[in-house]
Every structure is written in structure tokens, then in C-alpha cells.
Amino acid sequence: MRIQFIKNVHFTKLVKINGRNVKEFNFRKMRNGEAELFSVDVSDDRGNRIMFQMEKEGNIWHITNDGLPSWIMDNEIKLNELIEEELKNL
């Protein structure tokens, strides 16, 4: 019998948004066939959870959801950097 272990990757990062608010982003790596995905969640100013996914296309992680607040979409590059930094440290 062959046993295969798959490492569960999840981490939390604090990100300064618009130079004033600090938001806690929670990342969890998911497997969806061949696609590399991260599930990300963060709370807005009212405490509501916003959940979205980021998918790796080429060498860059992109947000796959539409209709997200601009403060998330404007920080897509920063979120990409956080994921890449964490994956390097594994």
C-alpha cells in the first residue's frame, strides 16, 4: 500500500491598506485538479467576511472573482507577493 502525504498550506498576513487600515488576510492552498489555487478571506470595516480565490497564471497569482471591493483589487500585486514569499519559505 502506498501512502501519499500532501502538505496543508495555510497562513495569515497583516496588510496595510491605503496606508492607514491594517487588514488580516487568511490564505489556504487548495487543490483543484491541475490548477493551483489559494482561498483568501478578509473582513471589511463592518466585520463581514469577504472570501475570494487567487489562481496562478504563469508566474503570477490573480484574483479570480468579480465584484470585490476596490481595496482588495488594488492590492492584488501585494497579495501575489505575500503568497510567493510564503511559498519560498516552505
pLDDT, tens digit, for every residue of 5-52?
Answer: 777 899 999 999 888 889 999 999 998 777 889 999 999 989 999 999
Domain assignment of residue 73, yes or no? no
Full domain range(s) for residue 39? 1-61
pLDDT tens digits, 39-55: 999 999 899 999 999 99
- Identify any residues that bridge with 26 across adjacent strands, giving them in sequence order: 12, 41
- Assigned C-alpha cell, 32: 483543484
Query: Cα separation of 90 and 47, whole Å?
Result: 31
Domain assignment of residue 41, yes or no? yes
Regarding pTM above 0.85, the answer is yes
Domain assignment of residue 89, yes or no? no
